[in-house]
Amino acid sequence: MATSRAYRRDLPQVREARQFVASEIESAGGAVTDDVLLVVSELVTNAVRHGGGDMEVRVAVGGSSACIAVLDDGGRVVAQPPESPPVDSVGG
């Protein structure tokens, strides 16, 4: 079963979103790893910096896996790069 929570697009909300996801995973009997918290931080930070409107963080925990999604109202168009960046490039 998925649960979700709405957040303002504001950097302090990154911490709140991490705590929400950790709580949902622990409530389902799962283990919260540093990797999971890093993914949540990255997704929410990207939505804050590049998204539009408010955000929604969704978590669905099943067995030994968790699906985490961060949605926003959009509003920004990112141009598709003309070709894949080199493997050693920063970003991309």
Q: What confidence tier does 79 reach under pLDDT thresholds 50, 70, 90?
A: low
Mean pLDDT of the chain: 88
Measured distance CA(92)–CA(64) in Å, rounded: 31
pTM value > 0.85: no
Which strand ranges, in their side-by-side order, compose the sheet holding 65-72?
Answer: 2-7, 55-62, 65-72
CA torsion through residues 36, 9, 12, 28, sign: negative
Contact, 24 vs 61, CB < 8 A?
A: yes
**pLDDT, tens digit (0-9, with 9 covering 90-100), for 14-55:** 999 999 999 999 999 999 999 999 999 999 999 998 888 899
| For residues 57-62, average pLDDT | 94
The rounded distance, in Å, linking the Cα atoms of 36 and 18 is 9
pLDDT of residue 91: 67
Distance separating alpha carbons of residues 79 and 76, to the nearest angstrom: 10
Give me the mean pLDDT over the 58-83 stretch: 81
Q: Tell whether the torsion through CA atoms of 35, 36, 41 and 43 is positive or negative.
A: positive
Task: Determine what percent of the chain is predicted with pLDDT higher than 70.
Answer: 87
| CA-atom Rg of the chain in angstroms | 15
- Mean pLDDT, residues 4-21 taken together: 94
